[in-house]
Structure 1
C-alpha cells in the first residue's frame, strides 16, 4: 500500500517538482481557498483537511501528463482544479496561458481574485462550456491541451472539447477506475487515441489522455 501523502506542498512534489515561487503561489492559493470557503462553499467541506493531496496534488497530474503543454483550456473550472494549479506551476514559463471556463458567479469571482493576487498567466470566461463549444470555440483560439476534473462523462467531455481536440489539442481528463464503460459508450460516436494512466494520488483514479479525436 502506498504511503499516505503529506498534507502540504510536499504532496504536489510527488507529482511535479516545485520551484520556491511555485510553492509560495500554491500556499497562497490554498489560504485564499480556506478564507473564501465558509461563505462561498467552493469545495466539499469534508475535503478541506486533505486539500493539498485531494485537490492540489491531484490537479498537478494534468500538467504532469502533458508537460510540454503551455496553452491550456480548463473547462468547468470550479474552484480552480486543475486550471489554477496548472497556471501556478506554469507561471514562470514564457508563453504560458490558462483559460478557465466557469459559469458559477461566486466561483468566477474567486478564480479572478486568485489570478489577480497571485499574478497568474490565466483568464476566466464566465460562460457555460456548452455555449462555447456550440460556437466552435468563441474566439478562444488554439490551445495545447484541454483539462477537466470531475466534470462529466467522457462522451460529454468529447462534445465540449471537440472544437480543440479535433484540431490537434490533447485532452487530459480526471476519471474514476470504471471509466471503461464510458469509453464503450463513446465508441459509436467518436474515435480517439486514448491512454489511461493510474492516478498517483487516488488508487481508484485515472488520468485519461486523449489525442486525435474524430467524430465517426
Structure 2
C-alpha cells in the first residue's frame, strides 16, 4: 500500500518540484504559468506542504511501521496535520485569489471550494478522535483527508480518460478532475469499511473463544 501511494504521489510531486525550480530562478522544466510567478509564496507553501503530506502520509498506511514504532507514528502524524492544513489552506487561497486555470470552468472552482475545507475538517476531526482515544474514527478521518489530497495524482489519469471520451471543453476538464475526488473517496470508504469489518470478525472470534467451556 505505501509503495502504491508513493507511486501515485510522484506525479504531482515531480510537477511541483519542477515548479519550485522555476520559481527559484532555474530552468523551466514544465510550461511556465504567469499566475504562479505573480504570487509565488502560496504556491511554494502548497507544493512543500503537499510533497511532505503525500510522501510521509503514505508511510502511515504501513501497519508494521505503526505497530513497531508508535512513537514515530505519533510524531510524523503531528507533522502531517500541519502539512495537511497547509495544503488545504494554500489550495483555498490559490482558488480564491489566483486567476483560474485556462480552460477550466466554474465547476472546478466550486469543487475546490468544497474539497479544501473538507480536507481541513477531516484532519481536525481525526485529531479530535485520537485525543478521545478513538483509533478507528481517527483512522477513518485521516484516510479521507489523504484521499482528498491525493486526487492530484489520480487526476492525471481521469483527465486523460475524460479528454479521450468527452473532449477538451471546460466542463469535460472539470468533470474529469471531479472524478478523481470521487474515485479516491470511494476507495477510501471501501478501505475503511473493509478494515472495520475485519476488526469486527477478529473481535467475534476472540469472544467466541472466551465463551468456550
Superposed pair shares fold, TM > 0.5: no
Alignment TM class, shorter chain as reference = under 0.3
TM-score computed with the length of structure 1 as normaliser: 0.27
Instruction: From the two aligned structures, give the one with the greater helix fraction.
Output: 2
More strand by share: 1
